[in-house]
Structure 1
Amino acid sequence: MTTIHLIYGEPAAAALREALERAGRPADDHSDHVIALRDELTVGPLRDIDEPGGPGLAQRTNFWERLGGVPPTLARDECAELNALEAVDAHVVIWHSNDAAHQLALRRVCYRLRNVPQRLNEVRLAADEISGPNAAIRLTARLPDAAPISVLRITRLALEWQEAKFANGETRRWRDNTFTSGSWSDLDTLILDVLATHETTSADTSWLASDALGTALTRGGAGFTVGEPVVLWRLRELAAADALRLRDDMCAACAPVAAAARATRPPLPLTATHLSLPR
């Protein structure tokens, strides 16, 4: 029987395909097939995105079109892939780490296949197992670790996916095995704080490249891996509001006038959060 492997991100999928090759199970021989889940579920609208042709999926498609940097059909293509997955009789292995995007993808797959739980398996990964030049070697060693997901856990994860869709926050943070909803203003505040800290501590230049900013946001408490399309979009929005300076190469720095205003601004109001059941 065919085994379909699902993993978030094309780099991780490429490493998994190489791992299968190393194990003598090439992904193109119809016994193993790897699908990269590419929709970054940590950001943007989620409500009703599992309904093909519905307004929710159209809204998510419009969101990615507005941001740019990803295929405009990203959300529709992934929905179609999951629809096809429901229709075939194959074992499914979802490979996931504790990253927010991986955890949301896991919940979405459990929701889509909740009526055929006997098909669902998982491999739980550490974050460093799917990064770096030796990722394929590490994944090869994990191939025998695919294990069934219990019906009870599938049901619970599927329910949490429905909760996340209903909450429909602008961002989704994953902390202490719990999801909370956030807003773009939360992320914007963190961006400006990171730039201010960089300006204070940098010995040579105050300009920060977008990729370095994304890494700093992820490490600095964003609660999810902030991808480049999101970083660039928020930089454009903040620059348009004169909250930061932006060079043609998309390197950013604090805007002096905005920095002075931020020093005297009142604290942001608390935003409503969505809590998922803890793991």
Structure 2
Amino acid sequence: KLGTYGLVRFGLYLFPEASVYFAPLMITLGVIGIIYGAIAAAMQRDLKRLVAYSSVAHLGFIVIGTFALNTEGLTGGVLQMVNHGVSTGALFLLVGMIYERRHTREISELGGLQKPAPLLAAVFMVVMLSSVGLPGLNGFVGELLVLLGAFNAHRWWAVVAAAGVILAAVYLLWAYQRVFHGPASGANAETPDLRWREGLVMAPFIAAIVFMGVYPKPVIERIEPAVDAIIAHVEDNVAGFAEPVADVHPSVSLEDLSRSIDEADHNGGDGGGHDEEGG
């Protein structure tokens, strides 16, 4: 996450005009990363490589949220940095536990692990669903905010990015089905379940996944002041660049336009009333 942190912490602050100007390009690259990561993940035979490519796709959401340049998108992007560290880190740990038991990460050589190792399968399922973005788990909140911010800024790219959420569900659920479901034969039938020490390692991850999914307010409240300061800094420094801001950050101009329309309607209604009285 150091790269995405650098974009937020230094890129937007040091180069606000360039950030606004290149925002469409960065969002395009983020969408490409989401789709490419999803397709590449679905084609992997190695479970660890599948998780790695899913990480590429999730980082695309962070880039989109960052360069949506509005409060919803940037808040969601920063929140996704936290979520990604928790969910993907837990997935890599679980893949390592499977490898330690079976000495292989080939999905085709696994299968039916849920029967001999039900607790391992349950923990893997919770972490995987958080990466998918299931409501009630941490991944849902961050992705929702990112897509809301992206829709306000570039709605068609947001639609394409939303397809990445569906693709993530496809390749992760498919991988889970091949690894844990089906008949357990050979060495798979003798796979040890999650040990109590491993359970202690995974417990904080599960707690964070559920807590940030059910009650994300404390985390969001910590993020929003910094996000508001960044957005204000960018807007102050690009105030003289009307055309790029209109193209890149239409959520600001739409708010101004909506306010102007409301004022015009109000003034027009008052004027119509005076005309009728005069008549």
- TM over 0.5: same fold? no
Larger RCO (alpha carbons 8 Å, 6+ apart): 2
Larger radius of gyration: 2
**TM-score for both structures, normalised by structure 1:** 0.31
- Indicate the structure with greater strand content: 1
